[in-house]
Chains A and B, each alone.
Chain A
Amino acid sequence: MTLTDLSLVDARDGLRARRFSARELVAAHVAAIEALNPRLNAFITVTAEAALAEADAADAALGRGEAGALTGIPLAIKDLFCTADVRTTAGSRILESFVPPYESTVTANLRRDGAVFVGKTNLDEFAMGSSNMTSAFGPVESPWKRAGANGVRDAARLVPGGSSGGSAAAVAARLALGATGTDTGGSIRQPASFSGIVGIKPSYGRCSRWGVVAFASSLDHPGPFARSVEDCAVLLGSMAGHDPRDSTSVDRIVPDYAAACRRGVRGLRIGVPREYRAEGMPAEIEALWQQGLTWLREAGAEIVEISLPHTKYGLATYYIVAPAEASSNLARYDGVRFGLRVPGEDLSDMYKRTRAAGFGTEVRRRILIGTYVLSAGYYDAYYLRAQKVRALILRDFTEAFAQVDALLTPTTPSAAFAHGENMDDPVKMWLNDVFTVPADLAGVPAMSVPAGLDADGLPLGLQVIGRLFDEETVFAVGAVIEQAAGFTALPSIRAGV
């Protein structure tokens, strides 16, 4: 087995047993990035030299018997997390040359545990998108290909999902053993589903937002990607924890998520929300969902039909709340303190020209929507009403979790689509997030686990949603799905092929 095919947990154990060095492990991933990134465009910035130096330091630590939870493990970091002295772009022209003087709490936690960062991954601009097509640094190509006629792979370039598309593609193509992402409307779970890997959005407040470029502060959730449920558990255990610098960070003990992966589901009650049977959902996704329920029943869980009556209003609620918060958060990009500056006739014109040149179409569109729904005379009709519907969506989950321990749903209403598809109408693209948005609005933890392939040979994920701060049950259910599914399909573009 080549080093890039190892799971994170196996790589960690191999390093501790000195079967290979951190230098060898990191060098294998750096070589894979050099070979495949020109095609996939998964990384905006590659930090090969620093990664190799960190690997040598990891080997020294391992030699002294001072291994942390992630010592010597190569990870990819979404380019929304500020990394000290390493350019952080948020996928935007406006931050093209921004070099933060500080480190985000989540990446600092990963470094504390010994992780090595191989680079900063591509994303939709300011995390606004479901395809990675809105990045100012070009789209990411999914490492997966549709099966074509006569066993010849279809040449169409597919999207990896978004917004954390570069992270998902990097992990799927074996350019890193794990990655960080952020999920505001589905930006971890949808790309995980499209890319055949695991991704979890923990409860709101579990991972600090400090040093993460803000999109919609009441909805932004940092979380990990990896190729197994247990690998995600190890990463989340490192990323999570109380941070006094984020006033919404929760002061709770971080449980042993890896241990939770071995709990099983015997005696658990699993809810099936009837409103997730979306009209026009492909039959194969419905069939996979039923298969997932069967796996859980066979493992000893009880399946219970429940109702989340406000599900259909999730997206419209999201597209008021998220743009409103974004219009406020992105007001800081004014060409004065950091980022791009475009000269104008006067101060106001300088602001306007800087922002028009620095932001892409989707970001400008969302700023305009957000500004409108917050403006005098419209605030109550749009923003206040959306906040009330958001309360009802949370109430739906609270009532459901009085009856069941976790929910099982599809992650997405379709498999990955091709570059250029769903681009004609913004709302059409947004519909991708119909199953993922409600958990962001409610703040409850949710994971996507690869569970099968569609007729074209593309991955499909199932989503496990849990109670607030009960990631452990999500890991337990996810691990049972993973084991039953035995998902072994590989993307056609990957390291070592």
Chain B
Amino acid sequence: MSLDPATVRRIASLARLHIEDGDVATLQTELNGILGWIEQLNEVDVEGVEPLTGAAQMALKMREDVVTDGGMAEAVLRNAPDRVGNFFTVPKVVE
């Protein structure tokens, strides 16, 4: 599988990464190099193998569905690039 320039642009858009038109060709070459190298996994017979999602070989624990924390708006907002009162702000999305 080989990425074309349109796919590179689509992936960047899905990843919410701005790319300059001049960077598309370089990224295309780099990503295709990496994906070509990854193709080696096609040699492995994985028939009937269950996928391993993580190294934690245990059942996830259950807990009571209760509020255990909160009431610290100042701490939560402390690192916000912009705020109004106790709210985060974003550029206007609805006219």
Contact = CB atoms under 8 A, between A and B. Distances in A.
Interface residues of B, number: 53
A378 B14 CA distance: 14
Interface string A281-317: 0000000000000000000000000000010110011
Contacts of A364: 17
A230 to B, nearest CB: 27
Given A244-B63, A316-B41, A427-B34, A356 B82 contact: no
B38 A367 contact: no
22 contacts: A101-B76, A102-B75, A219-B55, A250-B58, A313-B40, A313-B41, A335-B81, A336-B88, A336-B89, A337-B79, A343-B91, A347-B90, A353-B18, A355-B15, A355-B16, A365-B34, A371-B14, A378-B1, A388-B50, A388-B51, A394-B52, A427-B37
Interface of B: 1, 3, 7-8, 11-19, 27, 30-31, 33-35, 37-38, 40-44, 46, 49-58, 60-61, 63, 72, 75-76, 78-82, 88-91, 93
A443 B55 contact: yes
Main secondary structure of the interface of B (DSSP, over half): loop
A250 B42 CA distance: 34
Given A247-B61, A316-B41, A319-B38, A336 B79 contact: no
Interface of A: 97-102, 204-205, 217-219, 244, 247-248, 250, 310, 312-313, 316-317, 319-320, 327, 331, 334-341, 343-344, 346-353, 355-356, 359, 364-365, 367-372, 375, 378, 381-382, 384-392, 394, 425-427, 440-443, 468
Nearest to B16: A351
Contacts of B43: 313
Given A101-B78, A427-B33, A352 B17 contact: yes
B57 to A, nearest CB: 7
Contacts of B63: 244
Given A336-B81, A340-B81, A319 B75 contact: no
Given A368-B15, A384-B51, A443-B57, A426 B81 contact: no
